[in-house]
Structure formats: structure tokens, C-alpha cells
Amino acid sequence: MKTRILAASALLMLSAGPVPAGNLIYQPVNPAFGGSPLNGNWLQSEANAQNMPQAREQRLNQIFTSQTGRNGQSLTPGQIFAQQLQSQLYSSLANQITRAIFGENAQQSGTFEFQGTKIDFNREGANVRINIFDGQTNSTVLVPAGP
């Protein structure tokens, strides 16, 4: 067995010819140091990608410091977060009401109440009449019911 392995390896070594080799030449990548000018855009985009976390943090700081409340004073990050959370909750509530009116098991009529706001809806033929009363003003919207 050992002799077969030695014979096979010797045969392989004899069948392999010379391997040509060349000199290694250093070529810079950065165009500022003699590299190809076509690499400039690629290097710039790589640098920008590495700086993104810092830029994002700076942008968030700008947003936090530039938002103002009703009285014109800057809002704290906690106040901004509370506004965003409230907006998300209202959006979720609006989605639930929309599904109740137009969804798979749409109702003929109904009422929703939250924080002093009352929303009534009623199907009238091919339309849905939606009344929104916020405690002071009443708004009516007539929307096509769809197929």
C-alpha cells in the first residue's frame, strides 16, 4: 500500500511541469497616492458607509433639538417619544376602525369612543357616512363603500 502511494506521488511530481511565476508589483488603490482615478468614487462611498452611524446619531440629535411644542420651547427626547407613541396608537386605532367599517366582516353601523372623541358610521346604499365628534366640532365624511 505504501509503495502504491509513493509511486502515485512520484508519478504526479514527474507529470507536473514547470510553473511560470512573475514579479509582484505593488499598485496603490487610492488615486491620491498614484492609484487609478476610477477608484475615487468607490473609496468615497466606502468612507461614507463607515461614517453612517455617526451621521445618523448627529441627525437624531438635530431632530431632538429642533422639535418644538405648542409653546415654542424645545421638546425633550421623552416628550418626542411620547408624541411618537401617541401617533402610533392613534394609527393602530384608525386601522381597527377602518377594518370594522370596510374589512372582511364589515359592520352596517357602529360607534367608537375614545378620549372624548366619538366616531359613528352607517352604511347608506353604496356609501358609508362617518361622523366624527371631538367634543367641540362635528365632521362628516361620505366614503364609497367599495365592492
pLDDT per residue rounded down to tens, the chain (147 residues): 666 676 666 666 666 666 677 887 888 888 888 888 887 888 888 887 777 666 677 776 666 655 666 666 777 888 888 888 888 988 888 888 888 888 888 888 889 888 888 999 998 888 889 999 988 999 998 888 776
pTM of this prediction? 0.45
CB-based contact 97:112 (threshold 8 Å): yes
**Edge to edge, what strands does the sheet with 138-144 contain?**
109-114, 117-124, 127-133, 138-144
- Domain assignment present for residue 31? The answer is no
pLDDT at site 17: 64
pLDDT at site 93: 86
- Domain assignment present for residue 70? The answer is no
- Domain assignment present for residue 111? The answer is yes
Residue 1 C-alpha cell reads as: 500500500
Instruction: State the amino acid at position 26 in one-letter form.
Output: Y
pLDDT at site 131: 92
- Domain assignment present for residue 49? The answer is no
Residue-range definition of the domain harbouring residue 108: 77-147
Measured between alpha carbons, how far apart are the two ends of the chain, in Å? 82
Count of structural domains within the chain: 1
Where would I find the beta strands (DSSP E) of 2-145?
109-114, 117-124, 127-133, 138-144
- Domain assignment present for residue 12? The answer is no
